[in-house]
Each structure stands twice: as structure tokens, then as C-alpha cells.
Structure 1
Amino acid sequence: MTSSSSPSRKALSKIACNRLQKELAEWQLNPPAGFKHKVSDNLQRWVIEVTGAAGTLYAGETYQLQVDFPEHYPMEAPQICEL
């Protein structure tokens, strides 16, 4: 679990790794409506596509979010930014 674009980020703890593997498996079986996980080999960084909900100002729009999980997830919150 390393990232070449963020050398200061520490590898996931065993607890964080197990938790993220479980959450990813659940996501793949039953993804939330309007959300897609872009598959990669980096468990510590997820790229999510979000589709704007119908009937809202964001309908028809698609946004990409990058979610970076810290070493001690879930005790520390992930960082999220729009790509």
C-alpha cells in the first residue's frame, strides 16, 4: 500500500487494511446509488465517481473524488478532494 504521488503518507495499519478490504467488498456487492468506485491496486486511495441526483441542481453532472485513507483509518478520517 504505497503511493508514489504522496511519499509522506504512511502505509495502512493491519486494522485499517482489513477494514478497507471489507468496505470495498461490501461496496462492490451493493454500491450506493449514484456512486462508482474506479478500480485500482491502491487500497489507500480510492477514486469515486458521483452522479448528481435527479431533480437537483447537480442532475446530469458527474464528479470525481479522490479519497485518501490515513494509516489509522477508521480512527482517523479520510481526506477527500475533487479531481
Structure 2
Amino acid sequence: MSNIFLKRLTKELRDMQTNPPSGISVESADDNLNVWKIRLVAAEGTVYEGEVFTLQFKFGNKYPLESPEVCFLLGCVSGTPPMHPHIYSNGHICLSILYDQWSPALTVSAVCLSILSMLSSCGMKESPPDDAAYVKRAGNNPKKTTWAFHDDSV
């Protein structure tokens, strides 16, 4: 495990625990910092108002040079991921900053805020049109998917 990995994640965890953004909190982080569970509370005035979701972050040893694996957990507080045009029923998230638009300058907090923003800007709860087909063929790791980012309107 690299020193940069440990320093960066230790700092991010401390920052998230002492000064979390509104609607975001760390539920748990394993001892070696490789897996975190983050609780998201949807913003007031949105179609998800009052709903609570759990994200799982899995960090590889090349973090922050490579993005973490981020998914909504199934069977969490809400029982399912949010119904959203860019969130699949298996918890995978189609969001460019998690894949080809990743930057080492991004943090766990920034990723969570982007996901909350994505939820807040959605006007109607609906699944992605290809949800069933994607879930059937997708593996467990969303980073192994070749995503097509063509709709930034939700």
C-alpha cells in the first residue's frame, strides 16, 4: 500500500468526519481504508426528499491517481438505489467523473456532492431505459463497463 494512498485517505476520512457536507456522512471505513460506506440524505425540495441511500467506495492502491469504485448499496436503508436515469438497479452509477473524467484533485466529498447534485437535478424518478439489459450483462465492478456519456440533462 502506497504512502500517498494512506496519507490521502486518512486526510479525507478525517475531513469527512469532522466537517461533512450537508446530507453526507461516513457510516464506516474499514481498518485498511480500502472500503468506505457513505450515507446520503436527499435534499429537501427534490423528488428524493427524505430518502436515505448508502454509497460504497472501494479504493485501489493507485488512488488518487485512479478513481475509486463507487456504487449504491443494495439492501441499505432504502433497500434499493434511487430510481434515476443514470443509476442502474444493481447500484452502478453512470457519472463521467467516476470513469474517464476522473481527476486526482477530486475527493470523496466532491464525488458525493456530485452524486447528490445529480439526484437533486432530476425531475422524475425513472430507471435508465437499458436497465434490465445492462444489469443482466454487467459484472460487479462498474469500472469495467465502457460507459457512453451523452446525456447531462439529469
- Equivalent residue number for residue 18 of structure 2: 29
- TM-superposed deviation, 1:39: 2.7
- Residue 70 of structure 1 deviates from its aligned partner by 1.2
Q: Which runs of 4+ in 1 moved over 2 A?
A: 39-42
Q: Where do residues 1-83 of structure 1 align in structure 2 (5 Å cutoff)? A: 12-42=1-31, 43-83=33-73
SS at match of 1:15: helix
Where structure 2 has 5 or more consecutive residues not aligned to the other structure, the ranges are: 74-154
The alignment of Structure 1 onto Structure 2 pairs a total of residues equal to 72
Q: Deviations over 1:3-52 (max 9, x none)?
A: xxxxxxxxx32111110001111111100100110134331110001001
Identify which of structures 1 and 2 has the higher relative contact order when contacts are C-alpha pairs closer than 8 Å and 6+ apart: 1
Q: Determine the structure 2 residue equivalent to 1:6.
A: none
**Which residues of structure 1 form unaligned runs of 5+?**
1-11
* Cα contact 2:26–2:37 (8 A) shared by 1: yes
Q: Confirm or deny: 8 A CA contact 2:28 2:38 kept in the other structure.
A: no
Scaled by the length of structure 1, what TM-score is found?
0.80
- Secondary structure at 2:17 match in 1: helix
**Structure 1 pair 52–79 and aligned structure 2 pair: CA distance change class (3 A):** same
RMSD over aligned CA atoms reads: 1.1
Identity of aligned residues (%): 43
CA distance, structure 2, for counterparts of residue 41 and residue 80 of structure 1: 15
Greater Rg by CA: 2
Q: Does the residue aligned with 2:7 lie in a helix, a strand or coil? A: helix
Task: Give the residue type in structure 1 aligned to 2:72.
Answer: E
Amino acid of the structure 1 residue aligned with 2:17: Q
